[in-house]
Amino acid sequence: MAVRAAVLPAIGSPLEITGIELPDPGPGQVRVRLAAAGVCHSDLSLSDGTMRVPVPAVLGHEGAGTVVSVGEGVDHVSPGDGVVLNWAPSCGACHACSLGEVWLCANALTGAAAVYARTTEGTDLHPGLNVAAFAEETVVSASCVLPVPDGVPLTDAALLGCAVLTGYGAVHHSARVRQGETVAVFGVGGVGLAALQAARIAGASKIVAVDVSAEKEELARAAGATDYVVASDTTAREIRGLTGKQGVDVAVECAGRAVTIRTAWDSTRRGGRTTVVGIGGKDQQVTFNALEIFHWGRTLSGCVYGNSDPARDLPVLAGHIRAGRLDLSALVTEHISLDGIPAAFENMLAGKGGRALVVF
């Protein structure tokens, strides 16, 4: 039986909502009926070629659903179980995995190169970032599914697969924000909103949200921002003004733009820390001079998937959700159908809203 999916026919082409044919799960595979899938800026980066993906492909990497069937050898989930999709499963054998840095696994995306389904016309399809969540159902490696933690609604759980693990991890694992520190978060999308909540959970004394849109202030403050700055040429100066002319201890950049990364760096105090979460293109060049690197003593670091280990971190996040400290629904500004994904892409390009959530 065919299921509907959002297919990227070629890099730079618009998504097509069409029918696809899925095989039964083979050994070590799981078939999942999607409950919800988040529309992430990384999906936009895949569609425009900023990140490379084999095409034609079904995009979508942030999702949750119910197990329909399992292949031979799968014993950690069963039909009827609620699962979170993990788009970057670790192999456990490469150099990064041996160091415990599973978010840098060299083999995490090998599954994305495989053919996993076909259109109803017979065209081979690849699973974008392994899991192909922009579809009513998908077939994935068993390593790509994790049981939904107790107490987390299945639809909300979709956000755990990328936005929350990334935003929370950027604050707690990469930047390592400490009680009483000051934090600035650049970019108030799904990941940025998760980072704001994470900074509040970490006990930051001042949390500054920065975005090009003044309309996102209410969203940012609801997530934990104590101050809001509309991005401009004076952003770094404004942030220093909010922090006794010192700058923040930590800046978290979620936009992936050269000017934003540079501004985030300029907004931190001497000895401050900047974590870059946003994914920018190769044409986005950030420059520093040698003297300022010495003088300011700041740290600039990249952050992949929030430096998270989903198996370790999902139970921690579930604890925050059950305690009311982490509100997943606050990240979502729009509930849409599968047909609404192209419009959600346009909203991301325009800098509108937080997370659009496809509800099946």
Cβ within 8 Å of residue 102, ≥6 positions away: 90, 92, 96, 309
Query: With 90 as the cut, is the pLDDT of residue 50 above it?
Result: no
DSSP 2: -
Residues 239-280 have pLDDT tens digits of 999 999 999 999 999 999 999 999 999 999 999 999 999 999
Cα–Cα distance for residue pair 80/77, rounded to 1 Å: 9
Place of tokens 């892409």: 345
**Which amino acid, residue 198?**
A
CA 14 to chain CA mean position, Å:
22
**For the chain, percent of residues with pLDDT exceeding 90:** 92
Band (67; pLDDT cuts 50, 70, 90): very high
Distances (CA, A) of 323 to 152, 201, 203, 318: 11, 11, 15, 8
Band (44; pLDDT cuts 50, 70, 90): confident
What angle do helix axes 235-242 and 258-266 make, rounded to 10 degrees? Answer: 30
Q: Please tell me the predicted confidence (pLDDT) of residue 112.
A: 92
Computed over every residue of the chain, the mean pLDDT equals 95
Domain with CATH 3.90.180.10 in the chain: 3-161+327-359
Mean pLDDT of 275-291: 94
* 80, 154 contact by CB (below 8 A): no
Phi, psi of 216 (to 5 degrees): -90, 5
Query: With 90 as the cut, is the pLDDT of residue 119 above it?
Result: yes
Mean pLDDT of 300-312: 96
Mean pLDDT of 51-59: 92
Q: Which CATH architecture has domain 3-161+327-359?
A: Alpha-Beta Complex (3.90)
User: What is the pTM assigned to this prediction?
Assistant: 0.95
Residues 179-234 have pLDDT tens digits of 999 999 999 999 999 999 999 999 999 999 999 999 999 999 999 999 999 999 99
* 15, 133 contact by CB (below 8 A): no
Query: With 80 as the cut, is the pLDDT of residue 111 above it?
Result: yes
Pairing of strands 182-186, 206-211: parallel
Q: What number of CA atoms fall less than 13 Å from residue 318's CA on the CB side? A: 19
Cβ within 8 Å of residue 64, ≥6 positions away: 34, 35, 36, 82, 83, 84, 85, 148, 154, 155, 157, 158, 160, 161
Partnered with residue 285 across adjacent β-strands are: none
Taking phi over 0 as left and psi of -120 to 50 as alpha, with beta for the rest, 56 belongs to beta
Band (71; pLDDT cuts 50, 70, 90): very high
Q: What is the 3 state secondary structure string of 72-84?
A: CCCCCCCCCCEEE
Q: Please tell me the predicted confidence (pLDDT) of residue 54.
A: 92
Distances (CA, A) of 133 to 50, 86, 144, 150: 20, 10, 11, 22
Residues 264-275 have pLDDT tens digits of 999 999 999 999
Query: With 80 as the cut, is the pLDDT of residue 108 above it?
Result: yes
Helix or strand run (H / E) with residue 39: strand 29-39
Q: Please tell me the predicted confidence (pLDDT) of residue 276.
A: 98
Mapping DSSP to helix (H, G, I), strand (E, B) and coil, where does residue 140 land?
A: strand
Cα–Cα distance for residue pair 54/65, rounded to 1 Å: 25
Q: What CATH number was assigned to the domain covering residues 164-304?
A: 3.40.50.720
Query: With 80 as the cut, is the pLDDT of residue 1 above it?
Result: no
Q: Please tell me the predicted confidence (pLDDT) of residue 51.
A: 85
